[in-house]
Amino acid sequence: MKNFQTAAVILGLSETALGIVHSLAPLGIPTIGVSHFREIGLFSKYVDFRQLPHPMNELEKFKTSLTKLSGSFDQKPVLFIAADEYLQFYIRQSDFIREHFQVNISSAGIINEINDKARLYDLALKAEVAVPKTLLVTSQTDLEEAKEKVSYPVFVKAQNVTLWRIHVSGSTKGFVADDEARLLQIVTDIVAKGVPVLLQEIIQSADHENVKYCVNIDSEGRTIQEFTLRKIHQYPIHFGIASSAESVHSEELIKLGRKLFSAIDYRGIGSAEFKLDSKSNQLKLVEINTRFWQQNYLSTRCGMNFALGHYLLSTGQAVEEDNQFKRGIKWVNYHLCYQSFLQYKKQGELSFRQWRKDIRGPKTISLYNAKDKRPFIIHIQRTILRELVKILKPSKGK
């Protein structure tokens, strides 16, 4: 019989965290949600919310608060990382985390290597996993050399996601340069801010050819859980996050994911995104996420609870190896999905009828839970308010 008395502390309270909450709390596991601001997850009836200082901007205060939180329990809580700022805290303070919490996670060194996108592509090539042609640019001199080697259009993206989000954009993954003039304009501005960038070949295929391998690996290197999905729509289109996704089964993807994570000696929860290159008919690595992914509740809906798997492994409890899950179940963030539809429609790529057909069928709705409706209601209210502010905001020059 499983022991669910140990508390779960979740760092970050976005929709990613809500997926974890809705996977754990119905089992009777106490869930404590931590954030440095009032994120949507705090409205869950299952969450004991604690607002703590920013993990990077107020490092010592955050450590003190986290120490007190951990010490308030009879036994060390299990830690879940659901946002990048807390992942960066772990990289800098992994010994502190392991002292105060129970975790099943890779070393800070491995995660730091993976988060360096240039280093990640080197690791992938050594593992004989295909990657798009990629060039690192850290200076104007690098840019002058790189501009002669790229093929257009080219995608400009972060080498270090944290630096990019602080100095470039918190929501935009990258920019498309259709010619040399646009490339120089984009990269010169970003490099001047001290942010290294990658110039990457654009993989030519449709958005639904983006697929993801999700895995949970124990401390001995055994693959405990595997789950695969594909994006249906993205926001922003072509270079964004999944606004809708679907569980699928792909032996090719599973074999590729296993080879990649084994080669980098990974532990814990992770996911790798690949995209089919229509020219070479190869799946090419886009990125690895070293924490819980945004659509993690989809796997729970399909019968494979990754949050529970992490909890059990962290507390030393047995988890049966499993890669069986329901196929054809969808995950939809209706707000982002509709925004993506508007962009696809503008480009002449998707009709309203086809969009509705794409997301029809058995599904889980982001932020929504029949027994915990308040986060979804608050989200709708916030969305309406933001749209009203946009409509009522005076135009420039008036």
Residue 12, both tokens:
């970050």
Looking at residue 394, its amino acid is: P
What are the distances in angstroms from CA 393 to CA 181, 340, 380, 382? 34, 23, 20, 16
User: Which domains does the chain show, CATH number per domain?
Assistant: 8-103 (3.40.50.720), 133-201 (3.30.1490.20), 207-367 (3.30.470.20)
Identify the pLDDT of residue 161. 81
How many other CB atoms sit within 10 Å of the CB of residue 178? 10
**3-class DSSP assignment, residue 200:** strand
Residue 298 falls in which region: left (phi positive, over 0), alpha (psi -120 to 50) or beta: alpha
Written as tens digits, the pLDDT of the chain (398 aa) is 789 999 999 999 999 999 999 999 999 999 999 999 999 999 999 999 999 999 999 999 999 999 999 999 999 999 999 999 999 999 999 999 999 999 999 999 999 999 988 899 999 999 999 999 999 999 999 999 998 899 899 999 988 887 888 889 877 888 999 999 999 999 999 999 999 999 999 998 999 999 999 999 999 999 999 999 999 999 999 989 999 999 999 999 999 999 999 999 999 999 999 999 999 999 999 999 999 999 999 999 999 999 999 999 999 999 888 778 999 999 999 999 999 999 999 999 999 999 999 999 999 999 999 999 999 999 999 999 988 888 887 765 55
8-state DSSP, 160? B
Identify the pLDDT of residue 397. 54
Q: What is the pTM of this model?
A: 0.92
Burial of 235 (0-12, 13-18, 19+ CB in 10 A): buried
Identify the pLDDT of residue 322. 76
Residue 65, both tokens:
């608060």
Contact predicate 330/264, CB 8 Å: no
Identify the pLDDT of residue 396. 59
Closest Cα partner for 203 from 128, 134, 252, 132? 132
Identify the pLDDT of residue 87. 96
**CA 384 – CA 379 distance, rounded (Å):** 9
Identify the pLDDT of residue 83. 95
